Amino acid sequence: MSVLAHGIGAQHDLPLSPFYAFAGAFAALFISFLALGLLWSASRFRGDRAGRPLPSAVQRLADGRPTRIALRAFGLAAALYVMLSLLLGPDDPDRNPGPGAVYVLLWVGLVPASLLLGPVWRLINPLRTVHLLACRALGRDPAVGRPLPERLGLWPAAAGLLAFTWLELVAPDPASTTTLLIFLSVHTAAQLAGAARHGAGWFDRADAFEVYSGLLARLSPLGRRPADRRLVLRSPFNGLDATPQTAGLVATVCVMLGSTAYDGFSDAPSWISTVQTSPLGRTTAATLGLLGAVALVAALYALCAGAVRLISGQLRHPLTAFAHSLVPIALGYLIAHYFTLFVTEGPRTVMMASGTDSPVPPESPLGPGGVATLQVAAIVLGHVLGVIAAHDRSVRLFPPGRAVAGQLPLLVLMITYTTGGLSLLIA
């Protein structure tokens, strides 16, 4: 069922006025850039040091052993249910909740869950639970293992995200139970093998869904202070500012951006015709399209980082220094492309899981005009948040005389990304 792989189908049918969409977007970016340059001369974000501690009762409930056990049990039970559905259920996404559970409840559902509650997948990740149980049975400390090389960073997670988005957007039959079982089996084997060798810390860097959830959770109002592990309420900007500058961070965010961009233009009639008539075959042509979209996003960001380095004259690692500013942009694209999918196919999947045979998905709560407004607003707001995050980092890293000039390449990049994102909705 193609709806499992795409948020709302043909984006070009939405009632969007190109003039007002682009004019509003450019005005928002320029006004925010000028206002920040005039009024924001010193860094205001404090990263992990910021936040107001939650009441002790909430802290005890969140960190209590019963809560942790319940969350692990829920994650493990849900994973077993999905696997059994894929193994024993019909190979029909209209009657089997397995594909919807993976593509909608997990992949798309992690977006609002992580924004509201923080890095939730770390708490319910069934593979962490399996590793924990296996270590206890063997009398081992689950945290003990060979140290991970620093240069490895988040690269395994970036590769895992690329593999999953290929499955979702390119694979010939992504909703097939056989296809999903093969992917989930390979993913499970790779993650458990890595954890057996390197300990539970492997999941922090290599589990694609855990890293994906963790990056989105940087924009959550809930966070933890590393110094005392207290749960705090914080500005999402402080959480974003605290994003570790880890190897592979840029690659991970570029996969998130590039794959969502590919999802946007893969429904265009011209692209459908291209892949269907390509002498390379549909799958090969679509694979090259997905890789090309990710590579284009990464190349534009690399050019921007190079220009920032030339202007600053002293910043050694601009690629990772400003990578956090891409996270809200990725979030805006995810909301724009997957909102309708989540609010229609999510309840439908739950109804199937509860025993309803071939349920009819509910209508979207927003009409075409409302969806169009939401999409444009999500993309523009994501870029504005990116501009703010980049500006605060600039005034911290650059000499006062170069702080505004150093952001010009980033502004150009944001305008380029905005133009591309809106074009995918309108074209």
Which portions of the chain are predicted below pLDDT 70? 1-21, 37-38, 312-316, 400-403, 406, 424-427
Q: Cα 273 vs. chain centroid, distance in angstroms?
A: 29
- What are phi and psi for residue 153, nearest 5 degrees? 50, -130
Characterise 141 by phi-psi region: left (phi > 0), alpha (psi -120 to 50), beta (else): beta
Residue 172: DSSP 8-state: S
Residue 174: DSSP 8-state: T
Write the pLDDT tens digit of every residue in 42-94: 788 888 888 899 998 988 898 889 999 999 999 999 999 999 999 998 988 88
List C-alpha distances in Å: 364 to 4, 13, 172, 260, 340: 15, 16, 28, 21, 6
Question: What's the CA gap between 332 and 175, in Å, rounded?
Answer: 26
**pLDDT of res. 21:** 66
**pLDDT of res. 1:** 45
**pLDDT of res. 357:** 74
Write the pLDDT tens digit of every residue in 354-396: 877 777 777 777 777 787 788 888 888 888 888 888 888 888 8
Long-range contacts of range 413-418, CB-CB < 8 Å, 24 or more positions apart?
Answer: 413/300, 413/301, 413/304, 414/29, 414/329, 414/383, 414/386, 414/387, 414/390, 415/26, 415/29, 416/300, 417/257, 417/297, 417/300, 417/329, 417/383, 418/25, 418/26, 418/29, 418/379, 418/380, 418/383
**pLDDT of res. 15:** 58
Residue 279: DSSP 8-state: T
Closest CA to 327 of 169, 168, 206, 154: 154
